[in-house]
C-alpha cells in the first residue's frame, strides 16, 4: 500500500515546517522535552543525516520528506500481516514516522493488530505520548487523532445521483437526434442481412431466421418512429417497411423447375 494524499497532508500538518527562515528555507533544530534533548530535526520532521547548522531550501525539505516517508511505508507493509484499509494504513505510517520503526515493531499495538484485534490496536495509540517518562501535550493530541483515523471507516465511492421524477419533454426532439435514432436502428437491421442472395434450399432455414430478425428490428424501429409526433417519423417507418418488403422478395430462395 501507499500513503494517501490525505494521510500525507495529515503527517505534514502534525510535523509542521520548522525552523523556517525569512527566504522560505529552513534550518536544523533541536528541541528539549521534559528535560531531554530530542534528535536534530529539519523541515517536516526529517531526522536522517541531520546535524546542527544544516540549511535546506523548501524544495529540499519537500523532497526529503517524501523520500523519508517511503521508509515508513515499507516498514508498515512489511510488519503488518492482516488486511488494512487506507485509513488504518495512513494512521500506522504516521505513528511509525513519529515514534520510529523499532517502536512499531516491538509494540503491543502491532501484536494486537496482527492477531486481528483492530479495536485493541487502536486503544494502544494513546500510550505512546511520553518523553522522558512524562506525557507531552502535542503527542497526546496526535495519538488521539491517529487512533480516530485508524477506526474511521473508508467511505465508499459515491454513485451518480439518478433523478426519480422524470418529465416528458415539452419540445419535440431535434432533427439531429431523430437522424441518430433512425441511423442506429437502421444499422442494427442491416447487420442482420446476408452479404449475398441465398439461392439454395439448404440455406432456407438460415434465411428464414434472418428475415425474422429483420422483421423484429424493423418492428422496433417503426414502433419507435411512430410513437413520436411529426411527419419525419412516419416517413422513416415507411422507408423501413419498404426495405423489409424488398428484403423478403430478394432474399427468399425461389423454386427451380
Note if 15 is an active site residue.
yes
Identified catalytic residue from 15, 105, 157, 202: 15
Query: What is 120-164 written as a DSSP string?
Result: HHHHHGGG--EETTEE-HHHHHHHHHHHHHHHSPPPPPPPPP--S
Note the Cα 198 to chain centre separation in Å. 52
Q: Could you give the C-alpha distances from 14 to 32, 81, 221, 248, in angstroms and in order? A: 18, 27, 64, 78
Cβ atoms of residues 76 and 89 within 8 Å: yes
**32 sits in which H/E element:** strand 32-33
Instruction: Give catalytic residue positions.
Output: 15
Amino acid at each position: 500500500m501507499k500513503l494517501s494524499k490525505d494521510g500525507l497532508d495529515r503527517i505534514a500538518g502534525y510535523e509542521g515546517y520548522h525552523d523556517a527562515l525569512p527566504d522560505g528555507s529552513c534550518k536544523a533544530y533541536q528541541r528539549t522535552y521534559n528535560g531531554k534533548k530530542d534528535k536534530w530535526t529539519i523541515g517536516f520532521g526529517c531526522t536522517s543525516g541531520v546535524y546542527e547548522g544544516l540549511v535546506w531550501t523548501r524544495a529540499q525539505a519537500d523532497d526529503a520528506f517524501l523520500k523519508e516517508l517511503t521508509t515508513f511505508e515499507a516498514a508498515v507493509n512489511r510488519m503488518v500481516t492482516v488486511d488494512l484499509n487506507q485509513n488504518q494504513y495512513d494512521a500506522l505510517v504516521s505513528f511509525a514516522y513519529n515514534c520510529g520503526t523499532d517502536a512499531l515493531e516491538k509494540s503491543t499495538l502491532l501484536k494486537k493488530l496482527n492477531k486481528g484485534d483492530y479495536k485493541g490496536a487502536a486503544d494502544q495509540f494513546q500510550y505512546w505520548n511520553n518523553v522522558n517518562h512524562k506525557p507531552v501535550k502535542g503527542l497526546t493530541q496526535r495519538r488521539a487523532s491517529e487512533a480516530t483515523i485508524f477506526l474511521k471507516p473508508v467511505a465508499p465511492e459515491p454513485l451518480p445521483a439518478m433523478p426519480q421524477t422524470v418529465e416528458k419533454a415539452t419540445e419535440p426532439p431535434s432533427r439531429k437526434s431523430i437522424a441518430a435514432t433512425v441511423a442506429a436502428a437502421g444499422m442494427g437491421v442491416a447487420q442482420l442481412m446476408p452479404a449475398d442472395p441465398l439461392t439454395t434450399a439448404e440455406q432456407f432455414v438460415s434465411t428464414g431466421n434472418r428475415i425474422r430478425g429483420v422483421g423484429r428490428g424493423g418492428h422496433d424501429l417503426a414502433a419507435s418512429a411512430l410513437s413520436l409526433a411529426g411527419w419525419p417519423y412516419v416517413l422513416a417507418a415507411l422507408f423501413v417497411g419498404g426495405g423489409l418488403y424488398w428484403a423478403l422478395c430478394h432474399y427468399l430462395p425461389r423454386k427451380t423447375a
